[in-house]
Structure 1
């Protein structure tokens, strides 16, 4: 062996000064081990990162067919309003067929009824939406015993399980609520605001095709909150009314509630400084008609105040407005024409 080493040294011209000492050999061996260990660590890190990335992607992409996202009351309200047929003048109710997770594309049923109380008996529905067409009104009891009056052209979505969950409703339109005190809070959601109460009676108007939101508080106490923090939350006391412009977010408060504000529940329309074009729009909704008026009528620079009896036919009701005395009012099927005599 020594003889072979000597021959190799001669071939490669290796002298004794080129030979590593024992200390140098140990140092070199240690460096080799460190580099090998470093390479193994880098490889391990890359492998671990790749596995983690695959796991994350798998979790994001994994959607079991039987796992359905639970929707909230606002989503159900918006969807049900979009699918309710308006082909006739009947009251419609949209109900979810499942108690919890609702598939909006599959688990929806539409009923044509006169009252929703019958749907409370089986208690299978999570949410229900009631639509009252133009020309009609409806009063009924919610599952907790609270009473609701809905005005023409109004939608109300509510949580059917009011015993075990917060009592929630979503209003698009006008409704008068007489809320039963159960200890659970009662929340009226609208497009712009939320009204939170325990037990009280109040009128709320929030038609989503208009820019006004109003609350008239008859008894009790409520808290108003903006959905998008357009105004600071505040409390209302009995006898107060609030009018909010949902476009400018201007808040107007007034004291000394006049119960004329809720006379629509008794087929009386109370108006306070309402422009003529807005009066006609309200009448269209109440009577389920289309009104065509001369431009001079819709552009009248006056605001109307007073009461209109909407328990009579629309021609009689409109004829009682002093400003229309010099105009001819004609009803043809579901169209009303107001022209100069």
Structure 2
């Protein structure tokens, strides 16, 4: 039961059933060929779905899709689940990419929740494990390419070739003309810039990952995000660009915007620099409507009450991180500290927890030496940032 639940939490599985594309079909074909021992399990599950859909309206919400899936799971309850569990987990450990990367890194695809101090990979948590210490690019054929520790740069060409840090060139497999799904994993302490095949530029912040096709061939240009990224989208009115997170999708034609969707946070923030975007809830009900943003606005979606609040903000406070600057105005110290934890891959503890509520304003140039950054904060807050070990600091 648990293993089937993990599979249905994978958005690529539902996309394969409801809205298959060349990229999705290519991925699952490659996956089934590489995992013949799992092929019958996955195809049977898919077949049951399609039979059920012949009696139902296909315009189902994400919640209704999962409810239908759980009814199908109950029909499969007599199957030897223990045998399937062993095969499923074994496959996950070998193919921690794209749709199944979700399970290895904590959940389904972009539903990657995992507290930093945990080693297991439960579905319902989403931050990076400390075991993941180096940036990794995982190609559709499961090939892993290690990237530079601090900052890396990737650039895709229209024919699928990838230039890494302006030097190394990696080419897509010649065995298939179909684009593949790639996964870029950026752990805490690192950052990356990627130019997608359509010219869209993405700055990926620490503790984030992006799942995307090597080339866009569908009617929409879809990517999946966990963490934080700044997007500068190439305009194409006939092919909307969609950033999907666990709870929210951001749909655009061509614009620049920042999305913050860390799993441990209780909100998803979308800040629009220019252009226009609409925010669409993943579990939108019949009467839910997209929320439209104008330049200079932030859409703040709360996980607790499932509502989006729109407000005017200083856009630079949410986008300057891509230039190595942390800008904050009337922000809790705890919020600033959380950014530093992700940026440096360290942990802060408070001698007095109330210090985290201190309101501060300013800019941090994190391109400077780490000690200089902390000294500036000490002057600003009149607190001490004392080093305990390589990973831990105490604020007192």
Give the TM interval when normalised to the shorter protein.
Answer: 0.5 to 0.7
User: Which string of whole-angstrom CA distances, capped at 9 and with x for unpartnered residues, describes residues 110-149 of structure 1?
Assistant: 3213444479324445211111121221112011111000
Q: Give 1:305's aligned residue.
A: 361
User: Which string of whole-angstrom CA distances, capped at 9 and with x for unpartnered residues, describes residues 5-64 of structure 1?
Assistant: xxxxxxxxxxxxxxxxxxxxxxxxxxxxxxxxxxxxxxxxxxxxxxxxxxxxxxxxxx76
The answer to whether the 8 Å contact 1:178/1:201 transfers is: yes
2:298 is equivalent to residue 274 of structure 1: no
Q: Give 1:96's aligned residue.
A: 140
Structure 1 CA distance for aligned equivalents of residues 348 and 383 of structure 2: 17
Structure 2 CA distance for aligned equivalents of residues 273 and 287 of structure 1: 23
Q: Aligned ranges for residues 116-265 of structure 1 at < 5 Å?
A: 116-117=154-155, 120-121=160-161, 122-124=171-173, 126-182=180-236, 183-229=238-284, 232-255=289-312, 257-265=314-322
The answer to whether the 8 Å contact 2:328/2:363 transfers is: yes
How well do the aligned residues superpose, as a CA RMSD in angstroms?
Answer: 3.1
2:341 is equivalent to residue 317 of structure 1: no
Q: What is the CA distance between 1:299 and its match in structure 2? A: 4.7
Structure 2 CA distance for aligned equivalents of residues 168 and 308 of structure 1: 33
SS at match of 1:96: coil
Q: Give 1:78's aligned residue.
A: 102
2:344 is equivalent to residue 287 of structure 1: yes
The answer to whether the 8 Å contact 1:77/1:157 transfers is: no
241-250 or 260-269: which moved more? 241-250
Q: How many correspondences in the alignment?
A: 264
Name stretches of at least 5 consecutive residues in structure 1 with no aligned partner. 1-62, 98-107
The answer to whether the 8 Å contact 2:334/2:357 transfers is: no
Structure 2 CA distance for aligned equivalents of residues 115 and 258 of structure 1: 24
TM-score, length of structure 1 as denominator length: 0.68
SS at match of 1:78: helix
148-157 or 131-140: which moved more? 131-140
SS at match of 1:135: coil
- Alpha-carbon distance change, 161 to 283 in structure 1, aligned in 2, over 3 angstroms: same
